[in-house]
Amino acid sequence: MYSYMKRDSRLSGVLHVLLHMAQQPGPFTSETLAKAMDTNPVVIRRIMAGLRELGYVHSERGHGGGWTLACDLSKVTLRDVYAALGSPSLLAMGNRTEAPGCLVEQAVNAALAQAFGDAEALLLSRLGEVTLAMLSDDLRKRLGSRKIHDISAHRA
Amino acid sequence: MYSYMKRDSRLSGVLHVLLHMAQQPGPFTSETLAKAMDTNPVVIRRIMAGLRELGYVHSERGHGGGWTLACDLSKVTLRDVYAALGSPSLLAMGNRTEAPGCLVEQAVNAALAQAFGDAEALLLSRLGEVTLAMLSDDLRKRLGSRKIHDISAHRA
DNA sequence: CTATCATGTAACATGTATAGTTACATGAAA
DNA sequence: TTTCATGTAACTATACATGTTACATGATAG
């Protein structure tokens, strides 16, 4: 591959959570999900907050509480999930100055805006083509003949 | 537009410098270029180091020293310049784990790798289509009837 | 030869964003 | 009323680009 791909892994993380949840009935506590993701329960709650607001998941407190899926997986795309995270920046690079008076800067910005804009649009388009149901189906294929993946047994 | 576009502005910055240099004969000191970019001379030297190694620019020390263009502007693309910077990450998002044992993570990574890979490839392709000469021509059009842009008078 | 200029570079400070952690309030169920 | 689980603020850790200071290296002017 080309570059490194680091930094923001919230989309990756929240999809991991959703896919786990799609494999067995809930509810799942933040702690359970956090253990499966090797992270902290508060991180789970944080990345799930936006999805709850949009009604993709539901959360309940107290005994027997936790997170449950609350949407039609075939209706929610990766782009929807991305938006639920607050649409964080997709590109790592950008213009030095957004609205420069300098004509040199304007010429540079125009050229880069074209390339960056095209790439961003394509990425959003691709994310919009993939539903959670498609991801879940792909996962089931990968699981193959094995029994239903038990989240409590999770750990590489 | 969609997202914020912040962070790494080295490509934008170094293109700004190169375009300035293409408007008049050199050499230009790091200090002159830094003033035009409203930044620090060391920052200029830093982002120019890679271009010097690839022979796109030349630097000389002492009296009358500074930076000069040392390439055919019609032969160097924005992608070449990007590579000269060390090919920093283009995308702000990535996978949580790069080589996971977990099948769930693998399914997520596969889906995202597709979308991210396509976007990254498109971006690199677009950058590869634009030469510094094309950028410089565009700039001259923007300058229109005005006199040759004097870098010493630069300042929005 | 030496003073000045300009790059080369290391080292450190700053700003910002994600990720991880602690602490505690809120509310639901046993 | 005790226990469990989420909701959230506040703080720490980490990473990276950017900004700055300091000084060595080398080239030119006198």
| D16 C1' to A35 CA distance, Å | 28
Closest chain A residue to B126, measured at CA: A115
Q: Which residues of A touch B3 (CB under 8 A)?
A: 87-91, 120
Tell me how far apart the alpha carbons of residues B100 and B114 are, in angstroms, rounded to a whole number: 17
pLDDT, tens digit (0-9, with 9 covering 90-100), for B118-140: 999 999 999 999 999 999 999 99
CB contact under 8 A, B95 and A127: no
At A100 the pLDDT is 74
State which nucleotides on strand D lie below 7 Å from a protein beta carbon: 3-10, 15-22, 25-29
CATH 3.40.50.720, applies to B10-87+131-153: no
Name the residue closest to the C1' of C27 by its CA: A61
Name the residue closest to the C1' of D28 by its CA: B63
What average pLDDT does the segment A12-38 reach?
A: 95
At B146 the pLDDT is 60
User: Which CATH number is A10-153 given?
Assistant: 1.10.10.10
At B103 the pLDDT is 92
pLDDT, tens digit (0-9, with 9 covering 90-100), for B38-72: 999 999 999 999 999 999 999 999 999 999 999 99
Burial B97-106 (b: 16+ CB within 10 A, else e): beebebbbbb
The answer to whether the beta carbons of residues A116 and B123 sit under 8 Å apart is: yes
At B1 the pLDDT is 36
> Is residue B144 very low, low, confident or very high in pLDDT (cuts 50, 70, 90)?
confident
Domain residue spans in chain A? 10-153
